[in-house]
């Protein structure tokens, strides 16, 4: 009996700012023995330059992802056929040439004023790409060739019953593993653009149905705490959904809630229907929850609780300090109140009174009394006249600006 | 199945496909787009099998019950912290443009903040500090005026007061002590909070930079400044240094000439606008700079 081909699929493109999303709509194509999924992320950080176009003002990032998507889709439709093995390296070179040519041509058409900026961070019409072309290796068989083509830090994943596998390697200047890349936020070292050289990477993986292939821009996975959380998010939403559409909607809602970027995803399931995929991945979701994301989330929750308690305790400490100080202060400052009458102790003899007569008088003849119980100021402490005590509710620290070099400057102006 | 011996060649003179129309608020089919698919080779899945084959080309806020989901999803999101250090030339030659530079410094923070929040990045901490510099050879200790980090928006008034208090005077002959200011900026007490950080130094000057010379520096400053330009480059590029290897950015509004041109050519993560302290900067280039900071976090 023939193994089913592509069975379920969805794609979405979420723009953080309406009408200005810099990811293009994903590529999602399938046939009985073929599949094509891909995403393109216009790089806003490198391609923020704005151009005037017939559709209005658009960033280079916005334009680039759409141009690249159209070119790549058209080229792959020509290159990928059911009866011929795709030559992946040739395809990678073909895509590189085709996209570069299209981006350069578009840049010329835009007739942009040359930028006055110099930077290796800024590029003309930059975009990433992550693409997987699937070909069944034998008619009706369960084995598929996965041709992975990419440039930049968008990713392609394969989900097998035992877990999620990343099949692209991030093109980053400071490369690390997926968790390190999440934290380091490194600069992309290779991306499609009109004014810099780039290459299209290629990798071939052999896949046995059933499996899922997902291509995603970093807005989907880059704002979750770990890659484990991304896998758990995708699969747990699958298990909780009624159908593919509900799965897609749920994922969109979850990603939109945490992402700080546009997010595009293209998903294709091969070799099983929706219910069968739910059954296939149920043990993995349980394993992820118990062994990976669950313990990490518990720790995160515990830290959040402790931090909340610490904040509450600090507020309470400040409040109590202020209250208790206010109770204590009147006695403490008893002799600092200039208007406060000195209580006469009638039991004192005149001789005793003489001993408590002023022991220090200022030039005006005002007296400051010091009882025998008063403690003199220690070294380094400053005695201030009538200076009020520091308000304990005020922040402690040098919030006042430091100013060095206030000396008068008479140098000749340069 | 054999390898295709003669795949269609790449287009050489075809018109470039135009950009897609703007995404609409309504979910739109993504596969296949009309007019671009040979349907016989790429039969679309039948309705029953592809119940979810749709793409939503819409703003997240318009299509998703974000409010309902955020409570559940938010704890797994990332936190952001952004520090910006402004190095401002306050020598006498800056007199005609110092007010504009002050205005730019005060505006810069607002624009970075807007850029970040527009994409829904909730910045947990945003701080700025100022290093005003002149020429140590001519002005001695008066060549430097540093502020601490101000946490914004809470300490915005202090930040504005410090910036507005800067006076352009002194400096002797060109060049100025701009490299010392950059060195001190690199040595700033950068934030360590946040899952993702952006550490930005912005320099405004109308003059080339003096070569680093520890002998003219006051002792407390000399201990914080590298001995020469190679050591300064090492301090910037040091992956284990005070600034994160990926999170730092240096924005130069400075003329071509000694000091600045070398940095622009050699250092990573630099955006240089060759000018007299940013004079003639176009809005397009300014927007590009802001995007290079806020849109890459």
* Cβ neighbours of A300 in B, within 8 Å: 75
Write down the pLDDT at residue A3: 85
| Whether B116 contacts B294, CB under 8 Å | yes
Chain B: residue nearest A262 by CA?
B119
Task: Give the distance from residue B227's alpha carbon to the nearest chain A alpha carbon, in angstroms.
Answer: 22
Closest residue of B to A135, CA-based? B1
**Chain A residues inside the 8 Å CB shell of B263:** none
> At B230, which helix (H) or strand (E)?
helix B229-237
- B282 shares contact with chain A (CB less than 8 Å): yes
- Does the structure show a pLDDT above 90 at A115? no
- The boundaries of the domain holding residue A216 are 6-112+120-281
The predicted structure's pLDDT at residue A162: 96
Cβ pair B19:A91 closer than 8 A = no
pLDDT band at A385 (very low <50, low <70, confident <90, very high): very low
Tens-digit pLDDT profile for residues A269-278: 999 999 999 9
The stretch A381-403 carries a mean pLDDT of 39
Beta strands, E only, chain B: 2-3, 57-59, 80-89, 123-133, 144-146, 150-152, 196-204, 248-254, 270-274
Q: With an 8 Å Cβ cutoff, are B36 and A70 in contact?
A: yes
CA A14 to chain centre: 16
CB contact under 8 A, B284 and A53: no
List, in sequence order, the alpha helices (H) in A111-209: 178-184
pLDDT for position B1: 53
Give pLDDT tens digits for B159-212.
999 999 999 999 888 799 999 999 999 999 998 888 788 899 999 999 999 999
User: Does the pLDDT of residue A67 top 70, yes or no?
Assistant: yes
Is A411 within the bounds of a domain?
Answer: no
Task: Please report the pLDDT score of residue B3 as a whole number.
Answer: 54
* CA B256 – CA B278 distance, rounded (Å): 12
| Cβ neighbours of B52 in A, within 8 Å | 8-10, 243-248
Q: Alpha helix (H) ranges present in B66-187?
A: 66-73, 98-118, 136-139, 156-164, 178-186
Phi-psi region of A165 (alpha: psi -120 to 50; beta: other; left: phi over 0): beta
Q: Using a CB–CB cutoff of 8 Å, tell me whether B29 touches chain A.
A: no
A269: chain B residues, CB-CB within 8 Å: none
Let me know if residue A354 belongs to a domain. no
Q: CA torsion sign, B222 to B228 to B232 to B238? A: negative
Residues 209-248 of B with CB under 8 A from A: 239, 244-247
- Rounded to the nearest 10 degrees, the angle between the axes of helix B66-73 and helix A244-258 is 70
Are A27 and A71 within 8 A, CB to CB?
no
State whether B76 and A259 contact (CB < 8 Å). Answer: no
Neighboring chain A residues of B73 at a CB cutoff of 8 Å: 253-254, 257-258
Q: Burial letters for A362-397: b for 16+ Cβ neighbours within 10 Å, e otherwise?
A: eeeeeeeeeeeeeeeeeeeeeeeeeeeeeebeeeee
Min Cα–Cα distance to chain A from B228, Å:
23
Of A323, A303, A327, the closest CA to residue A315 belongs to A323
Q: Taking all residues of chain A, what is their mean pLDDT, rounded to a whole number?
A: 85
Task: Identify the pLDDT of residue A380.
Answer: 36
Q: Do B119 and A17 touch (CB under 8 A)?
A: yes
Are A260 and B38 within 8 A, CB to CB? no
Whether B111 shows a pLDDT value over 80: the answer reads yes
Does residue A353 have a pLDDT over 50? no
Best mutation target, B13, B41, B48, B60, to test chain A (most A CBs within 10 A): B60
- pLDDT at site B251: 93
In this prediction, residues A112-126 reach a mean pLDDT of 89
| Domain-located, residue A262 | yes
Per cent of chain B over pLDDT 90 is 43
Q: Which domains does chain B have, with CATH numbers?
A: 86-294 (3.40.50.410)
Based on the structure, what is the number of domains in chain A?
Answer: 1
**d(CA A383, nearest CA chain B) in Å:** 28
Q: Whole-angstrom distance between the N-terminal and C-terminal Cα of chain B?
A: 46
More confident residue, A141 or A391: A141
Nearest CA in chain A to B297: A185
Give, in degrees to the nearest 5, the angle at Cα B126 between B250 and A171.
Answer: 50
The Cα of B166 is separated from the nearest Cα of chain A by a number of Å equal to 10
B56, pLDDT greater than 90 = no
pLDDT digits (tens, 9 = 90+) for B218-230: 999 999 999 999 9
Taking each helix axis from N to C terminus, what angle separates A293-332 and A227-240, rounded to the nearest 10 degrees? 110
Residue A360 lies in a domain: no
A24: in domain: yes
Question: So what's the pLDDT on residue A342?
Answer: 52
Nearest CB to A256: which of B60, B144, B293? B60
Model pLDDT for residues B264-291, shown as the tens digit of each residue: 999 989 999 998 888 878 887 888 888 8
Residue with the larger pLDDT of the pair B69 and A260 = A260
pLDDT of residue A339: 62
Q: Classify residue A336: in a domain, yes or no.
A: no
Cβ under 8 Å to A: B residues 131-160? 134-135, 138-148, 155, 158
Predicted complex ipTM exceeds 0.90: no
**In terms of Cα–Cα distance, which of B223, B151, B224 is closest to B191?**
B151
State how far the Cα of B66 lies from the Cα of B49, in Å rounded to an integer: 28
Q: What percent of chain A has pLDDT over 90?
A: 66
**Shortest alpha-carbon distance between residue A148 and chain B (Å):** 17
Q: In what order do the strands lie in the sheet with A155-160?
A: A163-166, A155-160, A211-216, A263-270, A6-15, B57-59
Does residue A397 surpass a pLDDT of 50?
A: no
Torsion A341-A344-A345-A348 (CA) sign? positive
B133 and B87 Cβ atoms separated by less than 8 Å: yes
Q: Does B64 reach chain A within 8 Å, measured CB to CB?
A: yes
Instruction: Identify the pLDDT of residue A331.
Output: 92
Shortest Cα distance, chain A CAs vs residue B230, angstroms? 20
Average pLDDT over residues A127-147: 96
Spatial distance between the Cα atoms of A154 and A35, rounded to a whole number of angstroms: 19
Query: Rounded to an integer, what distance in angstroms lies between the CA atom of residue A14 and that of residue A142?
Result: 33
Which of A12, A403, A406 is closest, CB to CB, to B55?
Answer: A12
Q: Tell whether A274 is covered by a domain.
A: yes
What are B294's two structure tokens?
């806020």
Q: Does B120 touch chain A (CB under 8 A)?
A: yes
pLDDT band at B296 (very low <50, low <70, confident <90, very high): low
State the average pLDDT over residues A32-51.
Answer: 93
CATH of the domain at A75: 3.60.40.10
User: Residue A343 has what pLDDT?
Assistant: 53
pLDDT of residue A136 exceeding 90: yes
User: Do residue B12 and residue A254 have CB atoms under 8 angstroms apart?
Assistant: no
Please report the pLDDT score of residue B289 as a whole number: 85
* Interatomic CA distance for residues A188 and A175, integer angstroms: 9
Q: What confidence category does residue B6 fall into, taking pLDDT thresholds of 50, 70 and 90?
A: very low
Please give the backbone phi and psi of residue A405, each rounded to the nearest 5 degrees, phi first: 70, 40
Q: Which of A36-50, A127-141, A363-377, B191-205 has the lowest mean pLDDT?
A: A363-377
Contact across the interface for A13 and B57, Cβ inside 8 Å: yes
Q: Tell me what the mean pLDDT of segment B69-85 comes to.
A: 60
A399 or A198, which is more confident? A198
Average pLDDT of the residues in A53-71:
95
- Domain presence at residue A346: no
* CA A274 from centroid of its chain's CA atoms: 31
pLDDT of residue B287: 84
A404 and B139 in contact by Cβ < 8 A? no
Cα(A38)–Cα(A35) distance, integer angstroms: 10
Q: How far apart are CA A60 and CA A43, in angstroms?
A: 8
Examine the pLDDT at B44 and tell me if it is beyond 60.
no
Q: Which two tokens stand for residue B44?
A: 């679309």
Helices A227-240 and A244-258: angle between axes, nearest 10 degrees: 140
What is the pLDDT, as a whole number, of residue A182? 83
CA triple A170-A36-B5, angle to 5 deg: 100
Rounded Cα–Cα distance for residues A385 and A360 (Å): 14
The answer to whether the CB atoms of B42 and A12 lie below 8 A apart is no
d(CA B101, CA B293): 19
With a pLDDT cut of 70, the percent of chain A lying above it is 82
Query: Residue B79: which pLDDT band, with cuts at 50, 70 and 90?
Result: confident
For residue A414, pLDDT over 50 is answered with no
pLDDT band at A340 (very low <50, low <70, confident <90, very high): low
CB contact, 8 Å: B192 with chain A? Answer: no
Residue A395 pLDDT > 60, yes or no? no
Count Cβ–Cβ pairs < 8 Å, chain A vs chain B: 407
Confidence class of residue A315 from pLDDT cuts 50, 70 and 90?
very high
Whole-angstrom distance, CA of residue B71 vs CA of residue A254: 10
User: Closest Cα of chain A to B232: distance in Å?
Assistant: 19
């Amino acid at each position: 009996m023939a193994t089913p081909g592509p069975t379920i699929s969805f794609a979405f493109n979420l723009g953080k700012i309406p009408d200005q999303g810099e990811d293009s709509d994903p590529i999602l194509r399938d046939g009985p023995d073929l599949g094509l999924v891909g995403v393109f992320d216009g790089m806003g950080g490198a391609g923020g330059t704005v151009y005037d176009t017939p559709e209005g003002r658009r960033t280079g990032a916005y334009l680039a992802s759409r141009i690249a998507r159209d070119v790549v889709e058209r080229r792959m439709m020509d290159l990928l056929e059911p009866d011929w093995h795709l030559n992946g390296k040739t395809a990678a070179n073909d895509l590189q040439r085709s996209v570069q040519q299209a981006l350069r041509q578009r840049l010329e058409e835009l007739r942009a004023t040359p930028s006055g900026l110099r930077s290796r961070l800024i590029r003309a019409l930059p975009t990433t790409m992550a693409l997987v072309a699937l070909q069944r290796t034998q008619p009706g068989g369960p084995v598929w060739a996965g041709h992975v083509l990419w440039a930049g830090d968008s990713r392609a994943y394969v989900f097998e019953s035992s877990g999620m596998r990343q099949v692209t390697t991030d093109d980053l200047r400071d490369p690390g593993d997926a968790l390190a890349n999440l934290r380091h936020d490194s600069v992309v070292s290779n991306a499609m653009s009109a004014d810099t050289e780039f290459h299209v990477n290629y990798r071939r993986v052999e896949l046995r149905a059933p499996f899922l292939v997902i291509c995603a821009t970093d807005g989907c996975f880059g704002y979750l705490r770990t890659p484990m959380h991304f896998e758990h998010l995708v699969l747990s939403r699958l298990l909780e959904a009624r159908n593919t559409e509900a799965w897609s909607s749920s994922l969109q809602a979850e990603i939109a809630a945490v992402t700080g970027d546009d997010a595009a995803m293209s998903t294709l399931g091969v070799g099983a229907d929706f219910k069968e995929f739910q059954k296939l991945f149920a043990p993995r979701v349980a394993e992820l929850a118990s062994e990976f994301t669950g313990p990490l989330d518990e720790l995160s929750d515990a830290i959040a609780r402790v931090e909340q308690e610490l904040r509450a305790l600090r507020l309470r400490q400040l409040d109590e300090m202020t209250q208790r100080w206010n109770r204590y202060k009147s006695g403490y400052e008893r002799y600092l109140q200039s208007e406060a009458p000195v209580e006469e102790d009638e039991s004192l003899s005149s001789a005793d009174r003489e001993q408590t007569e002023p022991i220090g008088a200022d030039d005006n003849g005002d007296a400051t009394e010091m009882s025998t119980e008063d403690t003199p100021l220690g070294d380094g402490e400053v005695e201030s006249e009538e200076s009020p005590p520091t308000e304990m509710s005020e922040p402690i620290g040098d919030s006042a600006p430091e100013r060095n070099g206030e000396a008068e400057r008479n140098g000749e102006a340069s | 199945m054999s390898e295709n011996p003669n795949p269609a060649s790449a287009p050489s003179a075809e018109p470039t496909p135009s950009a897609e129309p703007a995404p609409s608020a309504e979910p739109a089919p993504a596969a296949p787009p009309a007019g671009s698919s040979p349907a016989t080779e790429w039969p679309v899945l039948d309705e029953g099998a592809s119940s979810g084959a749709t793409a939503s080309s819409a703003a997240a806020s318009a299509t998703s019950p974000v409010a309902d989901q955020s409570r559940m999803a938010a704890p797994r999101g990332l936190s952001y912290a952004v520090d910006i250090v402004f190095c401002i030339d306050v020598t006498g030659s800056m007199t005609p443009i110092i007010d504009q530079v002050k205005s730019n410094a005060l505006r810069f923070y607002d624009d970075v903040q807007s850029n970040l929040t527009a994409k829904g990045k909730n910045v947990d901490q945003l701080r700025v500090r100022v290093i005003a510099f002149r020429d140590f050879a001519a002005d001695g200790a008066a060549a430097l005026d540093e502020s601490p980090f101000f946490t914004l928006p809470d300490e915005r008034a202090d930040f504005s007061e410090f910036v507005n208090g800067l006076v352009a005077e002194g400096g002797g002959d060109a060049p100025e002590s701009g490299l010392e200011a950059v060195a001190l900026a690199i040595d700033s007490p950068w934030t360590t909070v946040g899952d993702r950080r952006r550490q930005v130094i912005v320099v405004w000057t109308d003059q080339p930079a003096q070569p680093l010379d520890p002998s003219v520096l006051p002792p407390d400053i000399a201990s914080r400044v590298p001995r020469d330009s190679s050591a300064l480059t090492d301090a910037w590029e040091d992956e284990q240094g005070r600034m994160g290897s990926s999170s730092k950015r240096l924005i130069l509004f400075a003329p071509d000439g000694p000091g600045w041109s070398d940095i622009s050519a050699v250092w990573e993560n630099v955006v240089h606008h060759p000018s007299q302290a940013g004079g003639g900067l176009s809005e397009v280039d300014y927007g590009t700079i802001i995007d290079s900071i806020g849109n890459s976090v």
